[in-house]
Amino acid sequence: MPIYEYQCSDCAREFEELIRNDREERKLTCPKCGSAQISRKLSAFAAHAASAKPAPPAGGCGNCGGPDGACPFNT
């Protein structure tokens, strides 16, 4: 079930709603002022990365990940 972002044309409030079908969207009103004058905003797709790359050791090149920072490839 998608979560959409909306903006009220009357009070400029931005809000999110979980919408299951078109009927729910047609009944939607602004939670702040109650207006039905709302529009769906374009949203960026959100994705989660598995993990971030660890920082390279101090003084190392960051390519080999040697524990002491020395790199056999950087001679």
Q: Give pLDDT, residue 61.
A: 60
Which stretches of the chain score pLDDT less than 50? none
Domain containing 20 equals: 3-40
In a domain, 45, yes or no: no
In a domain, 16, yes or no: yes
Q: Give pLDDT, residue 47.
A: 63
In a domain, 14, yes or no: yes
* Cα-to-chain-centroid distance, residue 21: 23
In a domain, 10, yes or no: yes
CA distance 41 to 20: 17
In a domain, 34, yes or no: yes
In a domain, 31, yes or no: yes
Q: Give pLDDT, residue 50.
A: 66
CA distance 10 to 38: 8
Q: Give pLDDT, residue 49.
A: 64
With vertex at residue 14, the alpha carbon angle to CA 13 and CA 17, rounded to the nearest 5 degrees, is 125
**Considering its fold, how many domains does the chain have in total?**
1
